[in-house]
Structure 1
Amino acid sequence: MGVKQLAVGITGASGAIYGVRFVQEVLRAGHTVHLMITEAGWQVFRDELGWDGGDREQLLAEKLQQQFPGKLRYWTMRDFSSPVASGSARIDGMIVIPCSMGTLSGIATGASGNLLERAADVALKERRRLVLVPRETPLNAIHLENMLKLTRMGAVIMPAMPGYYHKPKTLEDLVHFVVGKALDAFDLPHSLFTRWGDGK
């Protein structure tokens, strides 16, 4: 399979743990992650995960990089020198997990207002896999129309909807189901949940 390079965006939608676990699993498998986190995403890290520190890169190294063989590269929202900002870079795909409705709207309109939106625009124009994991309910017509528009452009809309047929026993089991489905979208092997029909 070889080493993959994935662009990963984490926004201010609730469910920061999904993005964290996805990055950890990709790094665990030895791949490279180009990570982008919006300011609202950092606020959710603090509110949901208790991550609060002055040196963001050091915090990410401690929480995500340690003990994993993959390579983590962190890019700020204004750093357009990042490889993910250009179609000439060999990026294998991109995921925004979780994806806020504001970010989804920015991607749908091609705004490229920050590095994350630009990276998603690049993924679409280069016909690379783009997966968006919204965590919002209920959805209004604007949300649904933007999702339909992006689906028609080739993006994969993968709402954070855990399954229950694998008989989850903990909150972590539910998180692993969503993260496992996201890994499946990039053909990355994992054993985070029991698949339908396995073991029968």
Structure 2
Amino acid sequence: MFKSKVTLAVTGASGSGYFLRLLKSLIDVDVQIYLLLSDAAKIVLKTEENEAWPEDVDELNFFLADKYQSKEKQVIALTAKDWFSPVASGSSAPDKMIICPCSCGTMASLAQGLSNNLIERSADVILKERGQLIIMPRETPFSTVHLRNMLTLSELGVTVMPLAPGFYHQPKTIADLHDFMTARVMDHLKISHNIGKRWCE
């Protein structure tokens, strides 16, 4: 029914606009998405993008289907307590996961193999099953602890993709910056797209 499926997690780091653009882009290319939002992510989403998403998960799923005009069950929002969801087990989870944006606190938990919530458990599943995990931290400056955690995760096969867009495409709007990073994620997921200009185009 869908071309592929991914887990998309959102934590409390700044950069909600990147997440929104990535979510829409994945929907547009017929990808099924298991969506995980931390409580802090919802606060940042309201602060940065003035979007107040429903707290009730059933209402949230209806809201997302209407907002993005997605197919039935294309976006499946989960709660932090959905331990029986597919993303919590290696026998059923998607083999690709993106955390955008990824807080440094979440990054630290992943580096230590913690599973205190469904986001951390989902990432732990990807790691143990040798799947593809992309984390997109948004912080500055990075402390030595942050950098060590990034190195640990990189050594485990995680793609560390800081939300640091380039400027060679001469962006005119914030949306252009969102497009730049979304295109890089789509490339790493091996998903065809027509987002933005490539180098020398």
TM-score (normalised: structure 2): 0.92
Is the Cα–Cα contact under 8 Å of residues 5 and 96 in structure 2 kept in the other structure?
Answer: yes
Superposition deviation, residue 193 in structure 1: 1.1
Contact 1:93 1:129 in 2 (8 A): yes
Q: Which shows bigger deviation, 32-41 or 86-95?
A: 86-95
Q: Percent identity?
A: 37
Match of 1:120 in 2: 123
Residue 179 (structure 1) aligns with: 182
The equivalences for 1:94-113 within 5 A come to 94-113=97-116
The corresponding residue for 1:156 is: 159
Q: Which runs of 5+ in 2 are unaligned?
A: none
Contact 1:5 1:90 in 2 (8 A): no
1:103-144 CA distance string (max 9 Å, x none): 001111111000000000010111110000000000001000
Kindly report which structure 2 residues correspond to 1:38-53, keeping only aligned pairs within 5 A, or say none. 38-53=38-53
Give the aligned partner of residue 62 of structure 1: 63
Equivalent residue for 2:13? 13
Asked if structure 2 preserves the Cα contact closer than 8 Å seen for 1:13 and 1:99, the reply is yes
1:132 maps onto 2:118 in alignment = no
**What's the counterpart of residue 77 of structure 1?**
80
**Structure 1: 4+ residue segments shifted above 6 A:** none
* Contact map agreement 1:166 1:195 (CA 8 A) in 2: yes
* Residues 138-188 of structure 1, C-alpha deviations (whole Å, 9 max, x = no match): 000100000000000000000001111111111110111011111111011
- Does 2:23 correspond to 1:23? yes
Q: Secondary structure at the match of 2:100?
A: strand
Question: Contact (CA 8 Å) 1:10, 1:38: kept in 2 or not?
Answer: yes
**Of 67-76 and 127-136, the range deviating more from structure 2:** 67-76
Q: How many residues align?
A: 197
Post-superposition offset of 1:23 = 1.2
Residues 154 and 53 (structure 1), Cα distance of their counterparts in 2 relative to 1, 3 Å cut? closer
Answer yes or no: is 1:4 the counterpart of 2:7. no
Amino acid at match of 2:42: W
Displacement of 1:55? 4.3
Q: Is the 8 A contact 2:61 2:76 kept in 1?
A: no
On the 8 A contact 1:16/1:48 being kept in 2, the answer is: yes
Contact 2:88–2:118 (CA<8 Å) still a contact in 1?
yes
Structure 1 unaligned regions, length at least 5 = none
One-letter code of the match for 2:52? Answer: D
User: Corresponding residue for 2:194?
Assistant: 191
One-letter code aligned to 1:157: V
Cα distance in 1 between the residues matched to 2:93 and 2:116: 22
TM-score by length of 1: 0.92
Cα distance in 2 for residues equivalent to 1:53 and 1:111: 28
Q: For 2:79, give the aligned amino acid.
A: T
Q: CA RMSD in A?
A: 1.6
Cα offset for 1:92?
2.9
